[in-house]
Copies of this chain bind each other. A is one copy, B any other.
């Protein structure tokens, strides 16, 4: 028997309740029933994004929402500051390049988060920057940026600078207070903390951002935010949506509402702390200097083959972990704390890692990692 525990930082595990809802016969999306459901989904998304503003739902990968944010709000020739501290920061820069948006990189050492003072410094040096793009939780390095602080320095410069945030592994996992902090655009994907398969992307767009969207004619069609806003007035979409996944989203968002977003954040953070404590106990380093609570990247001890570790953990115990991306390939394993994951999933994954590491010759006291995790979880500390 090989019971699967999908603990990669996306796709993440999907609750059976949502899978079964999506397995019900397919209905048409232009019905009063669908509109009522989509209205509820949109309200629940506003709750998860902590915004009273529009949240748009696009049928596509997370990258489609990233592109929508860029093409919708950045006129060609305008200047954007892009924080680059991992693979996803690099993707934002690539999207800017594809659409002739002049972009300045704010390079952050991998494993570190962006700090408000770095952004402040970049904005002071170049007053022609009109958009700041930050990856809140950089999935590739498992590092978190101080979004609240960054939003504060951006907002201090007035309403003409937009702050676009990649919330793909932060929304629904770690605190994101879109309106309170003054963030203009936040994007996320369905296959992370929203507990669904890949296939939907969401985009919260605030008033300052809409003003920008309306100020120019963007060269876009499928991903033009204006079209989605127009349809949204009637709880519809401009193009045939993945209505089956929107039905699944209704189920998972209700689960988040029932648990309470602060409780979801607290659970995610607790599992992250438990994992970091376990890593310390078994003598493996947490990669990030500024670790995110939605995903952890753990460094491989000297002499341990990362790929063999993950393969054995999967074969023997059914736990699917992620490896490193880009220059971290072969150096780290990544484990998700987002979405449909609980204490025993986490303790189980740690146990599996311990057992296999021990067998592979890493010196550890079997059970010490799990014990450290249990201590954190039992004390909720």
> A residues touching B (Cβ–Cβ < 8 Å)?
4, 6, 8, 10-14, 19-20, 22-29, 59-64, 66-67, 94-95, 98-100, 189, 191, 197-199, 219-224, 238-245, 320, 322
Given contact pairs A26-B6, A221-B67, A199 touches B244 in the complex (Cβ within 8 A): yes
Contact (Cβ within 8 A) B220 A98 = yes
Partner of A240, one of B98, B99, B198, B219: B198
Given contact pairs A26-B14, A98-B221, A222-B67, A240 touches B61 in the complex (Cβ within 8 A): yes
Contact (Cβ within 8 A) A222 B14 = no
Q: Can you show 26 pairs from A to B with CB atoms below 8 A apart? A: A4-B25, A11-B27, A11-B28, A11-B240, A19-B22, A19-B23, A19-B24, A19-B26, A20-B23, A23-B23, A27-B320, A29-B198, A59-B59, A59-B198, A61-B222, A61-B239, A61-B240, A62-B239, A63-B239, A64-B222, A98-B219, A98-B220, A199-B242, A199-B245, A242-B242, A242-B245
Contact (Cβ within 8 A) A6 B23 = no
Contact (Cβ within 8 A) A27 B6 = yes
Q: Which 7 pairs, one residue from A and one from B, show the smallest C-beta to C-beta distance?
A: A199-B242, A23-B23, A61-B239, A197-B244, A98-B221, A63-B239, A19-B23
Chain B neighbourhood of A199, CB < 8 A: 59, 199, 242, 244-245
Given contact pairs A219-B219, A222-B63, A222-B64, A25 touches B14 in the complex (Cβ within 8 A): yes
Distance in Å from the Cβ of A100 to the closest Cβ of chain B?
7
Chain B neighbourhood of A244, CB < 8 A: 197-199
Chain B neighbourhood of A12, CB < 8 A: 26
Contact (Cβ within 8 A) B63 A60 = no
